[in-house]
């Protein structure tokens, strides 16, 4: 976390798309400030949301994502942009890029991510529901689609710390969402998104409060 003590808890939000979770964070800003919005796609509508809120924006499209040297150079640009603003926390809110271990370790314990499925606190293959039952831990970019394919009765979302291993960081908050017989991918995802917006605000508020308490105690 940043050692600066004269400013509010500041977050950088990384987005790839519409930015509905970003909007929830912009609308709240209780105990924290959105200091930067960074997108990897020029057409990401979340950039317009940030501009409307007068938040600094950076757009860094990744061209030739399969080329290792290009990708590493792009990651250095992303890191340079983040470092200018020196956020206390980086929030991956609909960010569709998997970052390298070097990038993650550069910001160790400063990056959180949203995932549209229920994840355990480790690399385990299952998640235990509040009811006591278990479901598969659904990782990867198509978690909502996979939940329907697997026929689970309950899905949901997780906010977790980001680690070099994808989707295995310790969970900070979760919400269960029932899967309805009539659900298609869009309908289920929309209900999950409602919970995601609530959770991400709660988690950022909590981390900001803990950060402020730590400064007070020191």
Angle of helix 185-217 relative to helix 20-28, nearest 10 degrees, comes to 40
Radius of gyration for the chain, computed over Cα atoms and rounded to the nearest angstrom: 17
Let me know if 115 is a catalytic residue.
Answer: yes
Q: Per DSSP, what are the bridge partners of residue 38?
A: 14, 58
Q: Please tell me which residue in 115, 160, 189, 211 is annotated as part of the active site.
A: 115
SS3 145: helix
- Which residues does 151 contact at the CB level (< 8 Å), separation at least 6? none
Alpha-carbon gap, residue 3 to 10, rounded angstroms: 12
Give the active site residues. 115
């Amino acid at each position: 976390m940043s050692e600066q003590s004269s400013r509010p808890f500041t977050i950088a939000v990384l987005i790839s798309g519409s930015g509905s979770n970003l909007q929830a964070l912009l609308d709240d800003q209780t105990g924290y400030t959105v200091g930067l919005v960074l997108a990897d796609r020029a057409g990401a509508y979340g950039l317009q949301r940030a501009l409307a809120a007068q938040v600094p924006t950076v757009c860094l499209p990744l061209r030739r994502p399969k080329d290792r040297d290009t990708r590493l150079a792009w990651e250095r640009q992303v890191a340079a942009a983040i470092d200018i603003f020196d956020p206390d926390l980086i929030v991956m809110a609909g960010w569709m890029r998997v970052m390298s271990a070097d990038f993650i370790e550069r910001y160790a314990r400063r990056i959180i991510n949203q995932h549209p499925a229920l994840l355990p606190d480790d690399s385990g293959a299952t998640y235990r529901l509040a009811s006591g039952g278990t479901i598969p831990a659904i990782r990867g970019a198509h978690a909502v689609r996979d939940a329907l394919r697997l026929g689970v009765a309950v899905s949901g979302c997780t906010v977790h710390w980001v680690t070099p291993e994808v989707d295995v960081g310790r969970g900070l908050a979760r919400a269960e969402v029932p899967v309805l017989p009539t659900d298609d991918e869009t309908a289920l995802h929309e209900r999950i998104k409602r919970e995601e917006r609530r959770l991400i605000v709660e988690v950022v508020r909590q981390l900001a409060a803990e950060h402020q308490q730590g400064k007070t105690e020191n």
